[in-house]
Copies of this chain bind each other. A is one copy, B any other.
Amino acid sequence: MEKKRTTIVLFSGDYDKAMAAYIIANGAAAYDHEVTIFHTFWGINALRKQEPVQVKKGFLEKMFGKMMPRGAEQLGLSKMQMAGMGPKMIKHVMKKHNALSLTQLIELAQEQDIKLVSCTMTMDLLGLQKEELLDGVEYAGVAAYLADAEDGTVNLFI
């Protein structure tokens, strides 16, 4: 039997939306789907290393780098952000219920061989460099995403 495939475009840079993406992705992988998460635009911020990385950049690229959240745990919420109170509250109840943090969900995804792809066009535009992203991330464009999505049983844009 052919393997089923799930693809997710993660466009959003919100903690809650990224969580939803990774929960669905990890669920699908547990169900034996081949899974791709194609991170584009703000979604790439979830893949940034938390510590600052020394890379040479132009002025605007430096600005983007500074203004955008550095890594999964820096992302805000799509709702009830409340000047940072919302994420704190959500993370508090997540801990209480032993729910995995976004960081842990990304680690689990890597353990489950989910293909984590970062959109090269966005990286060019925002001046992000491979050294700034997590190890194991792949780099590709929309053509590679479409090749996967064509075979996808479940294709979502988040």
Contact = CB atoms under 8 A, between A and B. Distances in A.
Interface of A: 4, 9, 11-13, 16-17, 20, 23-24, 27-28, 31, 40-42, 60-61, 63-64, 67-68, 78-80, 89-90, 92-94, 97, 99, 121, 124-127, 142-143, 145-146, 149-150, 152-158
Quickly give the copy total for this chain.
Answer: 3
A124 B97 contact: yes
A97 B80 contact: no
Describe A's contact surface by its main secondary structure.
Answer: helix
Given A11-B20, A79-B42, A156-B155, A121 B99 contact: yes
A9 to B, nearest CB: 7
A92 B60 contact: yes
Contact of A126 (B31, B63, B93, B152): B93
A28 B146 contact: yes
Contacts of A92: 60
A17 B152 CA distance: 22
Contacts of A41: 16, 20
